[in-house]
Structure 1
Amino acid sequence: MFGAVQPYKQIFFSVLNKSNTFDFFLLKRLKTNTGFILFLLLAVQLSKAQTATKATSLFKKGVSLIDTDQQYDEGIKLLDSALLYSPSKPIEIQINFAKGVALNSQGNPSLAALSLQKNIPLINTFGPDLKNKFHANNYRVLGDIFKSKGEPVKSMEFYQKALRYAEKHNKASKAVVLHQIAVLLLEKEEYTEAERYLNLATGQYLNESLRLGKYLNLGEVYVKTNRYKKAEKQYEAAKDLALNTNNNNALSHVYLGLATIHFERKEYVKAIQFYEQANTLAKQLGTKQTEASSLLNLALSYTKTGQHFKALPYLKDAETMLGDSSSKMLQMHLNAIFASVYENMGSYEKSIVHLKKETELKESIFNAEKNKQFEELKIAYETEKQQQEIEFLTLQKKKNELELFRQEEALKNLSLEKELEGTKQQNTILQLQQNTTESENKIALLKKNQEVAKAEAEQSKLLKNAYLIGFFVLLIPLSALLFMYYQKLHAERELSKKQKELNQQQITELVKDQQLNTIKASIKGQELERERIAQELHDFIGGNLAAIKLQLENFKLETPKLQTVLTHLDETYEQVRHLSHDLLSKKIKENSFIDLVDDYLKSLSASSDLSINFLPFNEHLINQSNIKIQTALYKILQELVNNTIKHANATVIDVNVSASSNFINLLFEDNGKGFENKNTLKGVGLMNIKKRLKKINGTLNIDTVLGRGTLIDITIPYKNEL
């Protein structure tokens, strides 16, 4: 603190030594107010420190509001307030950077660019290390801003500048810039270059979010270049990382990518499954763009499978979501699919209405493009014209400046001649005055020596007073620190006592929990034995009986004895099945429904020549449904499998169980011989299924043709049952 006083002291005595007179009254006033001056100097230093702290505090609060709460307006106001407190250059650069990022996220790219461009001259004042670090980040975000403004050339210029500084800074910074350049190239559909830059962006130097972006972008590059196997690997890697980091937004894009691959391969059923998953996540996240895209693609996939009646609800949902405010390209795509669906369904009038809308939108887009090109040409012409006018005015200005310069030179010559005459007269007067002042100076010098001696004595007193005041100034904060330390020790002792009491409560609760767990284990042992018996009856004995019957039927011997054996085998199987069903409700109630179905299908597949594929979706919703629905669904699935084994001569069965907020859906498909729908609707198996569905308000749709297999679609509402 004393060093701050030193410059003021030096200035004072430099003036003293140069002056011809000394004001004793001023010296006495200075002595009297020494304490006040030192206090004032200390206050100035503290004020500067508090100002810097205030700027940093406001900066951190503003960044928190922007980054955590997405409150952009309030955050930007705090950043502007921080600039008023004259922060240090590094803090000022970070404030401008944060403000630029916030403005760009808010949809103000021009203001964002201005904020970041203010940093460029500030960054140039630093040494190489900080200069490389700040420029790499600053130019990279400027590239992002101009990319969002639709100016790819300007964006690439800033990215290349960022890359030059990032290479000198570190590998992580370089990897981030390379990734952003790849994204820009991908938007311009330059897939080869985009792939090269993505591969240069080493994954180990990217954070989790950017690594996800790299996987997704590489997947898109491979899809666009028809390399579907490579694309699938990238999307699977992205899926694993998204699940590990709970990034549902990235996961929705993964499902869209996988759906696109299956769609391009004409595997429409699998494409529909992934589009459904993407749509579910988009609804949860509220990302309307992703939700609209998944709805349109779902409709398109169903039209490809010939199920136009299923495409319509998705199109209507997309139409409601898009409204009139969406892009014209999306509206045109929506109307094109509508027209195709209505045409295939025979609703030609509705198809024509949507075809007209599609045509109007095409013309609107074409006219907008023409207007845009015209405006660009007009701007270019006006710019060239303005440039010519500027050049003319510049030449005119130079001509005027030259004439003024000549006039000024003439005036200067006249004034110099007058000054020479005046100085001759002044030199004569000064020579006379000099002789008089020499004698006066000798007298003044003697007086000055006396005054300096007294001033030195006063100076020593001032220094002593300054040391004493400084000691007391340091003593006050030191005392405050000791008091705070004592309070901290007292608080820690109180905290230690409370922690011991809390630990004792936790020990008591653990003992109680152990006793409860012992009781639960005893009850669970009894339940497991009952479950084991039901499992043995249903999975092993029932599965083996079904497999034995299937193998006996493959002998194709129509002897009376063999038919008698088959009849007894059917009766035995039915008795075992009914016995296991009696235990089934209890079993389903106490276990995961999806796991029970999976175990049942696996045991049946293992004991026969059937290949059974099981794909559940939204398992937690299915497992939470009413026990009545789960029991009925399990028995229906058994009936379907039993009918397939008896009648279909199938080798492959696909089972898909999914759930949404309103219903549970079962898709059962085999590659058997199929049947004629009208002749078989009154069969015993299907009648049993319909009776079970009627009890739970379910619906049944059958799609089958002789020689093509059978697809059974069952929908069960369960919203009111939860």
Structure 2
Amino acid sequence: MKKRLVIQVICQVMIGFCANAQPATNIDSLLRLLPLQGNDTVKVQLYIDIGDAYELNSPDDAAYYYRLAGRLSEQLNYTRGTIKYINSYTGLLNQKAQFDSSLLLNKQSVVLAGQLNDKLILAKCYANTGNVYQYTSDYENALLQYEMAKRYFEETGDSRLVARICDAMQNTYRELNQLEKAMQLGVEAVTILRNENEPFSLGLALVNLGNNFSQEESDSALKYYKEALAIFEKLDFTRGIMACLIDIGNVYLHRYDADNMKPCYEKALALAQQLQEPESEAIASRGLSHYFLYKKNYAQAKDYILKALAISDSLSLKYEHVKNLKSLSAVLYAVQDIVGAEQALDSAGIFENEINNEQVQQRTLMLAKRFEGEKKDAQIQLQQVRLKQQSTLNYFLAAGAAGLLIISLLGYRNYRSRQKLQQAKIEELETEKQLTATEAVLRGEEQERSRLAKDLHDGLGGMLSGIKYSLSNMKENLIMTPDNAQAFNRSLDMLDSSIREMRRVAHNMMPEILVKYGLDKALKEFCAEIDRSAVLQVSYHSVKLNEANLDHITALTIYRIIQELINNVIKHAAAKNALVQLDYSEAEKLLVITVEDDGKGMDLAALAQPGGIGWSSINNRVDFLKGKTDVKSAIGNGTSVLITLPV
């Protein structure tokens, strides 16, 4: 539900930042004016107004008139008209998820607005561009655009637009898990809107601010949600009321306050059914299931969670489906249906893997697009340099009176410059080729690990669990001697150990804790697990690692580097103790990784020999992250590996 309100706020920002569009009026009356109007700036605005009137019920017709406005503006060299066309037309492109085209046009509008020297229009164009990045989950670029918009809105003195951009930015910072900054911007937005008498915008900002506090400060979150609820009730905004009731119910749910959560979820469920909002209906039904679970009314709890599951399954709502499956598992555990509960958890795990894979693929695609964009920008800059050089050469050739000596010198200079540019292009292409190959290998390796982990967990894990279940049932119907019974129980214990070992291997191949809690906790758990196994005593330390802004690909690559280094220690070093330390420097933007052991050491010349797959894998990953590796070792004196990564 929080995601839906975030989208509503972005849509509101988009509408508020469009360039002075007129309210839609009667379409027929607007169409009758067209033949009477000459090809001038007034006709451009008339096309925009007709598009606005069509937009709600006939988007294709709206797009047609917006394009007419764009063509006429281009013929008239009417820059403001071109910006109006872009702002209106890209709204339709965003609705159709055609974000690449929308982004290209919005970037063009920023350039055009800069030529007008109109700070308000420029701020709106930056904000609309930021919205497109927000839709595509490119939150870093979205913030860059929003910061520029906020700066110009503040310079124009329009406090309402400052509040709206602050509201949009708090959602973006929350997506980046920078809650302190998100809270700061949310408080700024709410403070401004309280003084501007804009209750609807204030209510949305309060909900978003409550979302920022919901994870750590439930009292503050509850206060903001209740204030927003009172505003929406006064405005008779049913969807807002429903959203607030669910959010308030969730706060009470995490406080285990069953009596207070029940009326919230009941009212939200009724409103969701009235509004025909199945996703909200599923969330409210899950909340009521938890209420009846707390009250030990397991039949009612199961009935509500099955209703929620049916909705999330029919609509392919994967995030909600995972939550519903976990809630079903809790209900089944409560009624002692252990097999059913385990099956529900296994199904939830499958969907979580799918979600994680989709997120990784989305992030990879976004990085690829960004890389391609940077590549195109570099090519454009190179072309601009070439054109500038050619123009300079032509100018001096036209001024032949300057003499053959000057012409010769300029020709030689131009030749040398071209050589340098061509060499730079060759080096750039080689670098691009290496990065692409390395990224493809690493992505393929992680996909294979994920597939194998899934096969182990779902295939072998399911078979072992089934065998254990069958043996347990068989035991009840067999008459055995005490010795045989002891042997039978020992076999069951060995089967349990096999299941745990299989799950440990699957976890190491694709660690869920890395996705959920970040690199620091994932490495701490990995080292602790090695330590518990008694194979190697591993000491783990980290300094300011949580302050490093690591994307998923970088974090996963660092995890694999340390995993491979520790595996090498276990296999080859004959060591008793090992140290893993990560030290992040905010000032230098560097992450220093140290892995040391007290093993037998090695001859460093052996690292250069072919055939060392593990060390080659480590080097490839370090090169991919543009890092440096320093290895120190001597026979009998252990080994120390120091890796420095720019982050």
Give me the TM-score of the superposition, normalised by structure 2.
0.49
Give me the TM-score of the superposition, normalised by structure 1.
0.44
